């Protein structure tokens, strides 16, 4: 595992351990889900829910998030990655304005707080939607020297 594939490793862990129960967990926790999924597809809605469950919402049976559980059960995770993963719970949600984009890193400004964030993109994100001036609605989380996107985000002009 490294800083570029950690999210896939977490999804794999979630699938291996919770795939059979995901519908049950969804039914149990969907009323607590704090984000608007109405304008996105069912597939993206479920991805958004699973991301929330992995990073933000403690599981009912353990009282820990999937990330916390993963860290606890995998003592061989390199210390720097373990520290980065432990910081993922620090979520910033809102509407952001794209200030700039260069070499896989986008600079965002939170519309409410005016705070600026440097967000490193996953290789699955199409950077063409991150044009200067575009609005991004969603959430980001701390990781290393950069923030990362959490869940599904939407972009508009």
Torsion over CA: 18, 38, 31, 65 (sign): positive
Q: Mean pLDDT for the chain?
A: 88
Whether residues 71 and 139 share a domain: the answer is: no
Confidence of residue 59 (pLDDT cuts 50, 70, 90): confident
**Domain span including residue 75:** 6-87
pLDDT over 70 (residue 124): no
Element (H, E) at 86: helix 79-86
Whether residues 13 and 75 share a domain: the answer is: yes
Confidence of residue 56 (pLDDT cuts 50, 70, 90): very high
Residue 142 half-sphere exposure toward CB, CA atoms < 13 A? 9
pLDDT over 90 (residue 95): yes
The mean pLDDT of 73-82, rounded to a whole number, is 93
Point out which residues pair with 69 in neighbouring strands. Answer: none
Whether residues 96 and 80 share a domain: the answer is: no
Is-contact 111 95, C-beta < 8 A? yes
Q: Is residue 1 part of a domain?
A: no
Q: Is residue 48 part of a domain?
A: yes
Whether residues 75 and 101 share a domain: the answer is: no
């Amino acid at each position: 595992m490294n800083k570029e594939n950690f999210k896939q490793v977490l999804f794999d862990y979630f699938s291996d351990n919770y795939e059979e129960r995901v519908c049950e967990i969804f039914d149990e926790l969907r009323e607590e889900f704090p984000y608007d999924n109405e304008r996105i597809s069912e597939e993206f809605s479920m991805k958004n829910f699973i991301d929330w469950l992995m990073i933000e919402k403690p599981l009912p049976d353990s009282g820990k998030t999937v990330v916390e559980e993963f860290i606890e059960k995998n003592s061989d995770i390199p210390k720097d990655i373990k520290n980065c993963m432990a910081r993922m719970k620090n979520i910033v949600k809102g509407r952001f304005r794209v200030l700039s984009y260069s070499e896989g890193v986008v600079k965002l400004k939170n519309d409410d707080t005016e705070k600026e964030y440097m967000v490193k993109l996953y290789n699955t994100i199409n950077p063409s939607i991150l044009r200067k001036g575009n609005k991004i609605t969603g959430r980001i989380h701390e990781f290393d020297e950069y923030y990362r996107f959490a869940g599904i985000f939407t972009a508009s002009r």
